Structure 1
């Protein structure tokens, strides 16, 4: 086979891998958006900590199964264990704040505010990782913050309590991303997943004690709770498969597809449409996020000019 043919075959295989990874990733984002929609519906009739606990319980079962099936060691070194515990704690804060925020916020606006996390990463990166941040990156953060103010619109209809909870969730998730980056090549990904699960579960249980329901949810609610947990587990599995085919940095810009799905689901199931000001804020957040990821992909040759 000639060298040109080999290159053509290699390029065709690479494109196939990319398309397969994108397909898995889009399915994962759609599933996670469905998780958020189900969670928003459930928290309107059930304590938010209960909904959170069901999700964590499914994740714990999934994490233990993955560790046992793949025969991944549970033990890690002390230095890495401390970072894993901190990462799990931050992820626990995400769930504890995210679920109650859905009570107060429309799904589209809630998802948009949560997507401030990549911009918050830029602010925290110098302190946590010692990374240099450019003026252009700070301008992207400022643009995202303006978008956030347009969505929250102090004095408007959007709840400040819900917005505050979602901003705490976004900040905590930004810390999760930074700690994940710090742990890369130091621990196995399944170990990160397992440690996060076993730390989030007792945190969720502790909060649930203060909001313990008077009675078990009806059978229909239990089915919906189970479906929500299944969506969370399936979404995580699909993400793992996606990252096997395509690097996470390459898929980063596609994350905003979840915001589109969230707005559609919000309209279909809750008859909630973002205002023009909220749409403008979402556009600024998406634009700011893409301005951070697309130039990096162009420099590395992933996206052609």
Structure 2
């Protein structure tokens, strides 16, 4: 599950190598895609709530490191606290729905539906951000949603519950992105990140005791699960480093590399390649998203 610039603590370009920043961003996308594929593999043996809590333990550990590095900023006195809490709840919803949907959904189609979130954000922006959306942008949004319909069309043999959960995940992440835009420049990046990490940890901890694995993972599987959590944490670190070197507008179109990785993992790892119509839908979502990202960057 990608988190893009929205979860990078303070996505503010700084002096540094542009090329290094782009490479770091690609490395983060590889780490996110590997986490998603590895999680789907582990879901064949272990409950989704258990894997989720393990993931956010790693993310919360990273948040503690960031707070320490920035001198332990005051979380209780942070401005815009209701929006910070809502933002964290949205990402917790994303993580819960995404992980649960992967139990049934093919990785490529699930990731493609998730990547409609930038299109949803554009569609919501006139009402939630007061931004004007031009006709050409609406056309791109419509094309992207048409692509999603090709993926979830009748006869596509996708589970209804998994598809619904992925749609909820995409909408929740779009709202998360809108809230990030609202908080930009008002709340320090490490504070935003910590709020999100700790809220996700709390929310995913609530169902975890009722879904403990039976049998408990052996040493090999536990090492793999911990490694997946570390992979997610590493992806966050790489994102932070990338956004310190390169602007978010420059990196946004590159996000769809992760969707290509999801198609590759689904095809070669899980032996579940998308069919021709689904591939067409994925291409339409990618083209629409890249167009909107380039339009915003310009």
CA contact (8 A) 2:108 2:266 kept: yes
**Aligned residue for 2:81?**
81
Residue range with higher mean Cα deviation, 23-32 or 63-72: 63-72
1:124-139 equivalences under 5 Å are 124-139=124-139
Does 1 or 2 have the higher relative contact order (CA < 8 Å, sep 6+)?
A: 2
CA contact (8 A) 2:63 2:193 kept: yes
CA contact (8 A) 1:96 1:204 kept: yes
**Aligned residue for 1:29?**
29
Structure with greater helix share of residues: 1
Q: Given the alignment of the two structures, is residue 284 of structure 1 paired with residue 277 of structure 2, yes or no?
A: no
Shift of 1:208: 1.9
Shift of 1:158: 1.5
CA contact (8 A) 1:152 1:159 kept: no
Q: Given the alignment of the two structures, is residue 111 of structure 1 paired with residue 111 of structure 2, yes or no?
A: yes
1:64-213 equivalences under 5 Å are 64-75=64-75, 77=77, 79-213=79-213
Distance 1:16 1:192 in 2: 24
SS class of match (2:103):
helix
In the superposition, the TM-score normalised over structure 1's length comes to 0.89
Distance 1:198 1:294 in 2: 33
**What runs of 5+ residues in structure 2 fail to find an aligned partner?**
1-13
Distance 1:161 1:255 in 2: 26
Deviations along 1:118-176, whole A, 9 cap, x unmatched? Answer: 00001211222121222222211111111111111223212221111011111111111
Residue range with higher mean Cα deviation, 122-131 or 184-193: 122-131
Distance 1:206 1:84 in 2: 20
Distance 2:77 2:70 in 1: 20
Distance 1:15 1:278 in 2: 41
CA contact (8 A) 2:78 2:187 kept: no
Q: 1:105 to 1:239 in 2, by over 3 A?
A: same
Q: 1:140 to 1:203 in 2, by over 3 A?
A: same
Q: How many residue pairs are counted as aligned between the two chains?
A: 285
Residue range with higher mean Cα deviation, 53-62 or 68-77: 68-77
In the superposition, the TM-score normalised over structure 2's length comes to 0.91
Deviations along 1:50-102, whole A, 9 cap, x unmatched? Answer: 11110001111110111012214133656511111000000000011000111
Q: CA RMSD in A?
A: 1.7
SS class of match (2:269):
helix
CA contact (8 A) 2:79 2:187 kept: no
CA contact (8 A) 2:15 2:245 kept: no
Distance 1:214 1:227 in 2: 20
Shift of 1:280: 0.3
CA contact (8 A) 1:90 1:173 kept: yes
Distance 1:71 1:204 in 2: 27
**Aligned residue for 2:235?**
235
